[in-house]
Amino acid sequence: MAISRAQMLKELLPGLNALFGLEYEKYEDEHTLIYETESSDRSFEEEVKLSGFAAAPVKNEGSAISYDSAQESFTARYNHETIGMGFAITEEAMEDNLYDSLSARYTKALARAMAYTKQVKAVNPLNNGFTNSFQSGDGVNLFTASGDGVAGGDGHPLVSGGTNSNRPATAADLNETSLENAIIDIAAFTDERGLLIAARPRTLIVPPALMFTADRLLETTQRVGTSDNDINSIRNMGAIPGGYAVNHYLTDTNAFYIITDIPNGMKHFERTSLETSMDGDFDTGNVRYKARERYSFGVSDPLGIYGSPGSSYDIWGSVLFSLRLPLLFFILTNRSIWNIRH
């Protein structure tokens, strides 16, 4: 439905300089601190994790050398989604707008809507990764630990028969102890054959509710919350060299995440970058403008991230946040019914 003169009556009044609600700043590109971005030229992408070799055995004198073979561990699949939206303005509304261009204003609103959806899509693995709502290519929850007692969890299975844990077995809030334990857990990561890998933390990702806690933990020179003269070992050792970043789209106020230096961890594939187009309808004179892009977010190697849901996981917050987009779509598409009934 096109935006008509009647809808834009206030905009047509002389001297009006702005449309309230269309000039807000937005949080954007926060996903770049979580994901590696790659381009794609297919409808989907698949990445296979290989097992590598076991530890080399001793070769006794005169005996034959031992041979090993690598194997596929699991496959991570990325299905690209098409995200698009548009608007139309009547010919009369365009003619009568004497001061500002409606199309320019609504283009900004459209850009904000597209950016918002992208950020919500980006944090979906983090918001839902502590349950079986989002699982990695190995068939278990993105964040799992041996003995975590969560459906779809109990650790990331290895070809060697063991497991890797990228969350604490007992959920913990962000504090000095939990952050140190997370760093120790990351240092204990192994490959698929059980060989230790030199995994290190890179960046701490927190919701707005934890930004002050994160700042105290990483930026103070002495230990937080003590009267002792002990140094802040996390800061002194440079244990998290990338510092911390706030992601405003995380739903659980207690959860925190650590991006590690493991390659091919969290992945963002860009199939079609954001593109816009505009055309006019000959019969009505309406001008239509649309934006469109295709992408996917997911995880190839779950060791690329570590997370803790906090001691009081806000599952309802995650559920409600995930319903925002479909609920907004329902309201917009049923607006006429709402007006009739009320």
Q: At what angle do helices 324-333 and 315-322 cross, to 10 degrees?
A: 40
pLDDT of residue 154: 94
How far, CA to CA in Å, does 15 sit from each of 11, 18, 100, 296, 329?
Answer: 9, 9, 10, 44, 34
pLDDT of residue 341: 40
pLDDT of residue 1: 65
| Burial of 4 per CB tally in 10 Å (0-12, 13-18, 19+) | middle
pLDDT of residue 70: 85
CATH C-level class of 31-51+75-341: alpha beta
Q: Tens place of pLDDT for every residue, the chain, 342 residues?
A: 666 555 554 554 444 445 455 667 788 899 999 999 999 999 999 999 999 899 999 999 999 999 998 889 999 999 999 999 998 888 887 777 634 566 777 888 888 999 999 999 999 999 999 999 999 999 999 999 999 999 999 999 999 999 999 999 999 999 999 999 999 999 999 999 999 999 999 999 999 999 999 999 999 988 887 777 789 999 999 999 999 999 999 999 999 999 999 999 999 999 999 998 888 888 888 888 899 999 999 999 999 999 999 986 554 444 444 455 555 444 444 544 334 344
pLDDT of residue 270: 98
pLDDT of residue 336: 41
Domain boundaries, the chain: 31-51+75-341
- The answer to whether 131 and 150 are in contact (CB under 8 A) is yes
Q: Which residues contact 117 (CB under 8 A, 6 or more apart)?
A: 83, 325
Task: Give dist(CA 341, CA 154) in Å, integer.
Answer: 50
pLDDT of residue 265: 97
Task: Give dist(CA 214, CA 200) in Å, integer.
Answer: 18
- The answer to whether 105 and 22 are in contact (CB under 8 A) is yes
